[in-house]
Structure 1
């Protein structure tokens, strides 16, 4: 019985780890499908513009932009998950230990500066920033570029979806703001359960609300990590108010995005080698927190 319960618990735990990734993917593709429908069927929103030549060009441009962002999101997310930022398979320098090195009792090895142990991944991670719950992977030295660019295109895609849904509701509200339309936007679940709206209207309202909430959350998260990148810090260093590894704005960007930082964000396949090795860092300030 104990063995059976242990197996069940292991399966539940494994499913729980992948659940955020599944929900994330479901939301991304649901939003993409909804916006594609708006572009192909509903837009342009003015009846006089629907049969013009510009309408076809407008739709093609919007679909290209939408699927370009979707491709970047999925590709960067895939590379982020596949890229291992841990110390596994990395030669850490043998007996030559410098300032900032520590001993990890879990991994039973000395670890370099800015490296810390992740209890979720059960391994030390080079230049560890944080453990990303949505992807089940730590953000670290090798995969920070993919994490940041994925975050950027998620923000851009949600902004695009918010604008498209806003145009739809502006057309609806031109006919008059009613209590029914306001309640549909604010509480679509209640309206659906009470039988006040159709499943189609609920789906549009729910996805529109999800886009707005998601846009605000991703925008805040993206802004925070852009600030960290410009300051040459990790999340852990931000909390301790330390900035000992800042090399200047451009050098800090290159440390995160690589040599070709100005273009690599357009496509994850563009090679952009990182200037360091994730083990040795140039110290430009005090390592200890300010008192």
Structure 2
């Protein structure tokens, strides 16, 4: 009985860990499908424009742009999940232990500076930034490039989707700022259950709301990590106001995104070798927290 119960709990935990990944995947493809429908069917609205050559080029450019962003989001997310940021398979020995090294009693090994244990991943992670709930994996030294690139294209894709869905908000508010239009914008599922809107209107309102909320959340994450990137910090170091590893703007970009930092964001397949090993870091400031 105890064995069955533990198996059920382990299976439930595994499902809960992967649920955010499935939900994010569903939302990304739903938003892409809805925006593609807007481009192909709903816009441009003028009959003369729909038959013109300009309209065909307009649709082709929009479709290429959004599927370029979708491909980058999916590919960066896949490489992020497949790239192991932990100390597994890494030789941590060498010239001896230096300043900042600690002993992890869970992994039963000494760990280098900027490395910490993740209780979700159950392993120590090199240059650990944080555990990403949406991908179910830690952000560390080896996969930070893919994480940041994924955030960049998610941000640009959601901005694009918000602009494309502006027409949806205009149609909803065409009747004026009434209780019906406000409820349709804020809680469209209630309007659907009550039978006051069609399934088509609900789908458009729901995805448009998701685009706005998602854009605000991703904007907060993306610009926060841009600040960390420029300051040469991890999230854990931000909390303690330490900047002992900052090498200047160009140095921080190079040591975080790789030697081809100026090109690697265009495509995850562009190789960008990391100049460090995730174990040894050049110290440029005090290791003691200022607060």
TM-score bin, normalised by smaller chain: over 0.9
**CA-CA distance at 1:172 after TM superposition:** 5.6
Report what 2:193 is aligned to: 193
1:88 counterpart residue number: 88
CA contact (8 A) 2:103 2:110 kept: yes
Normalised by the length of structure 2, the TM-score is 0.97
**TM-score of the superposed pair, with normalisation by structure 1:** 0.97
Task: Determine helix, strand or coil for the equivalent of 1:96.
Answer: coil
Residues 1-291 of structure 1: pairs in structure 2 closer than 5 A: 1-94=1-94, 96-170=96-170, 173=173, 178-291=178-291
Aligned-residue offset at 1:10 = 1.1
Q: Which stretches of structure 1, 4 residues or longer, exceed 2 Å deviation after superposition?
A: 45-48, 167-183
Which region of structure 1 is more displaced relative to structure 2, 172-181 or 225-234?
172-181
In 1, Cα distance between the equivalents of 2:211 and 2:77? Answer: 19
Secondary structure, in 3 states, of the residue corresponding to 1:41? helix
Task: Using the TM superposition, give the Cα deviation of residue 290 of structure 1 relative to its aligned residue in structure 2, in angstroms.
Answer: 1.6
Distance in 2, matches of 1:46 and 1:179, equals 31
Distance (Å, rounded) in 2 between the aligned partners of 1:129 and 1:167 = 39
In 1: Cα distance, 2:163 partner to 2:211 partner:
10
Structure 2: runs of 5 or more not aligned: none
Distance 1:143 1:285, change over 3 A: same
Paired residues of 2:104 and 2:110 also in contact (CA < 8 A):
yes
Indicate if the aligned counterparts of 1:45 and 1:168 stay in contact, CA closer than 8 A.
no
The alignment's C-alpha RMSD in Å is: 1.3
User: SS in structure 1 opposite 2:165?
Assistant: helix
Q: CA deviation at 1:48?
A: 3.6
| CA distance in structure 1 between the aligned counterparts of 2:275 and 2:139, rounded to whole angstroms | 18
The number of equivalent residue pairs is 291
Contact 1:244 1:284 in 2 (8 A): yes
User: CA shift at 1:182, angstroms?
Assistant: 3.1
Once the two structures are overlaid, the 10-residue window that deviates more, 165-174 or 185-194, is 165-174
Q: Which structure 1 residue ranges, 5 or more long, are not aligned?
A: none
Mapped to 1, the partners of 2:174 and 2:133 lie a distance apart of: 41
